[in-house]
A = this chain, B = another copy of it.
Amino acid sequence: MRTTKKYIYDFCEGSADMRTLLGGKGANLAEMSRIGLPVPPGFIITTEACHKYWEEKDFIASIWEDVQAAVARVEKLAGKKFGASVDPLLVSVRSGAPVSMPGMMDTILNLGLNDDTVAALAKSAGDERFAYDSYRRFIQMFSDVVLGVDIVKFEERLAKARENAGVKADYQIPAGELKKLVADYKEIVKEAGREFPTDPWKQLRLAIDAVFRSWNTPRAITYRKINKIPEEYGTAVNVVTMVFGNLGDDCGTGVCFTRSPSTGENKLFGEYLINAQGEDVVAGIRTPVPIAALEKDMPEVYREFHRIAKLLEKHYRDAQDIEFTVERGKLYILQTRNGKRTAAAAVRVAVEMLHEGLIDEATAVSRVSPEQVEQLLHPQIDAKAKHDVLVKGLPASPGAAVGRVVFDADEAAERGGKGEAVVLVRPETTPDDIHGLFASQGVLTSHGGMTSHAAVVARGLGKPCVSGAEAVKIDLAAETFTVGDVTVKKDDILTLDGSSGEVILGKMALMEPKFDENFRELLATADKIAKLHVWANADTPEDAKRARDFGAKGIGLCRTEHMFMAAERIPVMEAMVVATTKEERVAQLDKLEKMQEEDFLGIFEAMQGLPVTIRLLDPPLHEFLPKIPELEKALAKRDPNGAEAKKISATMARARELHEQNPMLGFRGCRLGMIYPEIYEMQARAIFNAACKLTKRGLRIIPDIMIPLVGTEFEMKAMRELVDGVGAKIIEESGVKLEYLVGTMIELPRAALVADQLAKYAQFFSCGTNDLTQTTFGYSRDDAEGKFLAEYVQMGVFKENPFAQLDRDGVGALMEIAAAKGRSVRPDIKLGICGEHGGNPSSIAFCNKLGLNYVSCSPFRVPVARLSAALAALGAIK
C-alpha cells in the first residue's frame, strides 16, 4: 500500500524551523541548501516516518517508490547515477533526531559501492587506492551497523593488511592489498552467516531500516532517559551525496567553530586535514592542523569558508560548529549547528553578539543557562595547574572535591561529621552508606554508571562524584586501592573533579569563581528583563557586601540567631536561654543588645538605600542549651553545698526542662517572642537605634522586620504591636523619619492557610520554604536527607529532592494560597521567598509565575538567580 502523506523532503524543500519533522541535522542541511550554501544534494525521510516504522510492519515498502524518486532527484543534482557503472553516486545515510544525541544512533558512509561501482569510482576518481579504501570502509561499517557482524574480525584482518604491506597506517595500504582486504571482508560477512548485499538499492533500504531501528537501541533509550528527551521524537534519516576530501591535495576536511568554544573569542577556531576524510580526523591517526593552515593551502577556499562561516553565524544568530569537506577545490558544507561552549564562552559570545547587534537582550540572556552561571561561580580545579590524572571515571555529579581517602561509610560519617574533609571510596554505594556519603566532600566508585546509587545520591546532595572508574581496584580489607601500579592508601589526599570525571592524587588548587565585565553585563541585562528582584540572605556586613557586589537588590533574610553563634557571644546567649527569671534574662539581653546594634549598623551601612529584612530571633534552642554531661562534670568538681554547685544544678534543671523531643516543632520563633517579649523588644530596640543613628548621618536605611514561625493571627497582631511600640518611641526620640515594614515568614502550613488573617497585620510575607517543606512533607531535613530522602529520589518518588527544588504540588500549592489570601486583604503586600529554593532556577520560575516581588538566596547564588529570574520572565524556564 502506498501512502499519500509526505514522508520525504528534498533539502530544497525544508528549512531550519522544521526541526521536529526533519531532525536537527536535516533541518540545518535543508536551511543551508535553501540559502544557497554548497551542501551536497540529498533528502530527508521524516521523523513521522520513524513513528510509522515502529507502528507498521514493512512501512519502508510503502514509501519505497518515493525514496527512489528522491534518489532520482539527487542524481540529477549531483550529475551522477546511483549504482551506475560510470561515475556512480554514493550516499551517506545518517540519523538525525530533533535534538542531538551524539554517537547514539547509526551512520553509514559510502553507500552504493559494490564490485561494479567500485571500479567505476576508481576510474572517475582516477584513484584506485581511494576507491577500494572507500569500499572496504563501507563493507566494514555496513556489516557492523546493518548486519550486526562482530567488528573485531575486520580489525584483525585490517591489521594483517598493514602488516602485509609493511605500513603503519591504514591510508598507506596500497590498492592491491585493499582489494584482497575487500575480498576477505566479504568472506568474514559470509562466515558470520550474513550476506553483504551487492545491490545499492538493497543497501539503501537496509540502511534506512537500520537507522530507524537504532532509535530504540538500549543505549539510545538510556541516553534519552538521562537527558530527558521525549520518546516520541523519533529520528529522521538523511540521505546525502558523498563528497570526498581524500582525492588529492586539492581536497581536505575539517571542523570549525566560528568563535572559540573555550573563551568565546570572536575568531575562527577549527582544525583541518588536507587530503583526508572526516573519519581520519576523528580517528586521531593524523593530527589535524589549525584552520588557519587552510588559508595557506587553498586561499580561495579559505576565503569562501570564512564568508560562509560568518554568514551562518549571522543567519543562525549564534556561534556555529561547522563540518566541511573540500573535494577537488570545491567547498562543501556538511553540517552546521550551534557550537557547544564553556560557561565563560557562552557569556562572552552572548554579550559580544548583543554588542554586534546580532541578537537582542532577551536572546543574549537566553544563551546562558543557570547551570553555566553556577559553573562560573563554584570553585573548579584550576585549569592552568598542571596535574596528572590518576584515573578517569564518569562525571557523575559536578564540582571539585579534595579530601582524605576513607573506605568505610561509618568512618566517613564520623570523621566528616567532625569537620574533616574526607573522600569516600567504595566499589559501589548502597543505602547503608548514605550517612557516609552525606558527610564526605565527594565520592569515588569503581563500579556503576551515571544512574548508580552513588551518582544519584551525590547529585541529590550536591556532592561531587566520579562513578564507574573501573580501573580503580579496591582492597577494602587492606584499605587501599590501586590504579595500575599506583597504590593509594587510606588518609592519602585525593582530588575529584565530578564535572570531568578526573581523579587526581594529591591536593589540587581550586579556582575562585570569575566575575568579569561580560558576566556583569549579562546579568545587568537579565535584571532588565526579570520581573522578580533578587535579594540575598546575609547575616553579617561581609555577607551583605558580597551580596551587593553580586547584584542583590536587598537582604531578604538576616538571621539574628546566627549573630549569636560567635564564640564570645555564645556564653551570653546560653545564660539568656537558661535564665529562669525575667530579671536574669533582661540582664543578659542588655549585653546582647549592644552587640546586636553593632551588627545592624554594619549591615545597614553596607546595604544603604536597599531594604534589609531582619528576622527576629528564631534559635534552634537546643544549640544554645548547656550540655548536661559537661555540667555534670563541672558539678562533680564543686563543693556540693556551695553556691557554685547550686547554680550549676539550677542550670542543669533548666536545661533539662528546655530539652525538646522535636526541636524543629518546639519552642521556637515567635513563640519565644510571645512568652518572653523582652527578647524581641531588645532586638527591635537594636534595629531601630541602629537605623535611626545611620539615618541621622544621612544614609537611607530601609529595615523590614520579619517575625518568624507565625501560625496565628494573634501572634502576628501581638508581634506587630510589640515592634511598632518600640519603633514609635525610638523614632520619635531620635527625631528622624524612618520607614519600615513589619511582616512574617510563611513557613508553616497554617500560616499559608490563614494568610488573609495574617495580612491584616503583616506588611510583607516571605516564604520560608526550607521549613515549609519540612512541615508540609513532615520531613526533618537533618533526619531525612541522610536516611530515606536520597533513596526516595533514586526510587523516583520525587524527580528532584524537594529541599533543592520547590515541590509545586504541595509546598507550591500552599504558597499560592498564601499569595492569594494575602493579596485579598492587602493587595500591595510584598511577597518573597527566602528558603534555599530562592536560588534554584525551576523554583524561581515558579515564584515568577506566582508574581512574587523577590527571591532571596545565598550571596553566591545571586547571579544564578538573576539569570533565572530573567529566563523565567522570558518563559525559557518554567
A675 within 8 A of B: yes
> Which chain B positions have C-beta within 8 A of A757?
809
With both chains docked as a complex, state the minimum distance between the C-beta of A317 and any C-beta of chain B, in angstroms: 42
User: Is B666 in contact with A664, judged by CB distance below 8 angstroms?
Assistant: no
Question: Which B-chain residue is minimally distant from A661 (CB atoms)?
Answer: B782
> Which chain B positions have C-beta within 8 A of A164?
none
Q: Which of A283-291, A552-560, A640-648, A707-715 contacts B (4 or more CB under 8 A)?
A: A707-715
Question: Quick one: CB contact mask for A811-822 with B, threshold 8 Å, 1 for yes?
Answer: 101100000000
A797 within 8 A of B: yes
User: Is A814 in contact with B714, judged by CB distance below 8 angstroms?
Assistant: no
Contact for A580 among B432, B748, B787, CB less than 8 A: B432
A783 within 8 A of B: yes
The answer for the CA separation of A813 and B711 in the assembled complex, in Å, is: 14
> Which chain B positions have C-beta within 8 A of A660?
780, 782-783, 787
Known contacts A775-B749, A792-B674; A663 and B661 CB within 8 A of each other: yes
User: Is B814 in contact with A753, judged by CB distance below 8 angstroms?
Assistant: yes
The answer for the CA separation of A666 and B788 in the assembled complex, in Å, is: 9
Contact for A783 among B435, B661, B775, CB less than 8 A: B661
The answer for the CA separation of A796 and B663 in the assembled complex, in Å, is: 24
User: Is B749 in contact with A709, judged by CB distance below 8 angstroms?
Assistant: no
A854 within 8 A of B: no
A279 within 8 A of B: no
User: Is B410 in contact with A782, judged by CB distance below 8 angstroms?
Assistant: no
User: Is B779 in contact with A665, judged by CB distance below 8 angstroms?
Assistant: yes
Which A750-778 residues sit within 8 Å CB-CB of chain B? 750, 753-754, 757, 771, 774-778
A4 within 8 A of B: no
Contact for A796 among B413, B661, B714, CB less than 8 A: B714
> Which chain B positions have C-beta within 8 A of A661?
663-664, 780, 782-783
A671 within 8 A of B: yes
Question: Quick one: CB contact mask for A789-802 with B, threshold 8 Å, 1 for yes?
Answer: 00110011110000
The answer for the CA separation of A662 and B780 in the assembled complex, in Å, is: 6
> Which chain B positions have C-beta within 8 A of A413?
657
The answer for the CA separation of A653 and B771 in the assembled complex, in Å, is: 29
The answer for the CA separation of A795 and B657 in the assembled complex, in Å, is: 22
Q: Report which residue of A715, A780, A795 has the largest number of chain B beta carbons within 10 angstroms of its beta carbon.
A: A780
> Which chain B positions have C-beta within 8 A of A788?
667, 671, 674-675
Q: What interface size band does chain A fall in? A: 35 or more
The answer for the CA separation of A784 and B664 in the assembled complex, in Å, is: 11
A875 within 8 A of B: no
> Which chain B positions have C-beta within 8 A of A814?
749, 753
> Which chain B positions have C-beta within 8 A of A780?
660-662, 664-666
Known contacts A776-B753, A778-B775; A674 and B748 CB within 8 A of each other: no
A810 within 8 A of B: yes
Contact for A665 among B657, B665, B791, B792, CB less than 8 A: B665
With both chains docked as a complex, state the minimum distance between the C-beta of A817 and any C-beta of chain B, in angstroms: 9
User: Is A667 in contact with B783, judged by CB distance below 8 angstroms?
Assistant: yes
The answer for the CA separation of A366 and B346 in the assembled complex, in Å, is: 76
Known contacts A661-B664, A662-B783, A749-B814; A776 and B775 CB within 8 A of each other: yes
User: Is B776 in contact with A750, judged by CB distance below 8 angstroms?
Assistant: yes
A807 within 8 A of B: yes
Known contacts A661-B663, A788-B667, A788-B671; A750 and B807 CB within 8 A of each other: yes
A851 within 8 A of B: no
This chain: how many copies in the complex? 2
User: Is B796 in contact with A777, judged by CB distance below 8 angstroms?
Assistant: no
User: Is A754 in contact with B711, judged by CB distance below 8 angstroms?
Assistant: no
User: Is A776 in contact with B748, judged by CB distance below 8 angstroms?
Assistant: yes
Contact for A750 among B712, B777, B796, CB less than 8 A: B777
The answer for the CA separation of A788 and B658 in the assembled complex, in Å, is: 11
User: Is A798 in contact with B753, judged by CB distance below 8 angstroms?
Assistant: no
User: Is B787 in contact with A667, judged by CB distance below 8 angstroms?
Assistant: yes
A609 within 8 A of B: no
Known contacts A662-B663, A783-B666; A797 and B715 CB within 8 A of each other: yes
> Which chain B positions have C-beta within 8 A of A827?
none
Which A362-396 residues sit within 8 Å CB-CB of chain B? none
User: Is B792 in contact with A776, judged by CB distance below 8 angstroms?
Assistant: no
The answer for the CA separation of A661 and B784 in the assembled complex, in Å, is: 10
Q: Report which residue of A431, A653, A797, A811 has the largest number of chain B beta carbons within 10 angstroms of its beta carbon.
A: A797
Known contacts A432-B580, A771-B778, A783-B660; A791 and B675 CB within 8 A of each other: yes
> Which chain B positions have C-beta within 8 A of A810?
711, 749-750, 753-754
User: Is A748 in contact with B787, judged by CB distance below 8 angstroms?
Assistant: no
> Which chain B positions have C-beta within 8 A of A667?
783-784, 787-788
With both chains docked as a complex, state the minimum distance between the C-beta of A779 and any C-beta of chain B, in angstroms: 6
The answer for the CA separation of A540 and B798 in the assembled complex, in Å, is: 37
With both chains docked as a complex, state the minimum distance between the C-beta of A429 and any C-beta of chain B, in angstroms: 15
Which A572-614 residues sit within 8 Å CB-CB of chain B? 580
Question: Which B-chain residue is minimally distant from A813 (CB atoms)?
Answer: B753
With both chains docked as a complex, state the minimum distance between the C-beta of A164 and any C-beta of chain B, in angstroms: 59
Known contacts A432-B580, A783-B662, A784-B665; A748 and B778 CB within 8 A of each other: yes
> Which chain B positions have C-beta within 8 A of A662?
662-665, 780, 782-783
With both chains docked as a complex, state the minimum distance between the C-beta of A636 and any C-beta of chain B, in angstroms: 17
> Which chain B positions have C-beta within 8 A of A747?
778
The answer for the CA separation of A432 and B578 in the assembled complex, in Å, is: 12
> Which chain B positions have C-beta within 8 A of A674?
788, 791-792, 795, 797
With both chains docked as a complex, state the minimum distance between the C-beta of A424 and any C-beta of chain B, in angstroms: 15
The answer for the CA separation of A809 and B750 in the assembled complex, in Å, is: 8
Which A826-848 residues sit within 8 Å CB-CB of chain B? none
Q: Report which residue of A653, A787, A795 has the largest number of chain B beta carbons within 10 angstroms of its beta carbon.
A: A787
Q: Top 4 nearest A-B pairs by Cβ distance?
A: A665-B780, A750-B810, A662-B780, A749-B749
A sample of 17 more A-B contacts (CB under 8 A), given A664-B778, A665-B783, is: A661-B663, A661-B780, A662-B664, A662-B665, A662-B782, A665-B775, A714-B795, A747-B778, A748-B777, A749-B749, A750-B809, A750-B810, A750-B811, A753-B810, A753-B813, A753-B814, A754-B809
A-B contact pairs, 7 of them (CB 8 A): A410-B653, A435-B657, A662-B664, A667-B788, A711-B810, A712-B797, A714-B796
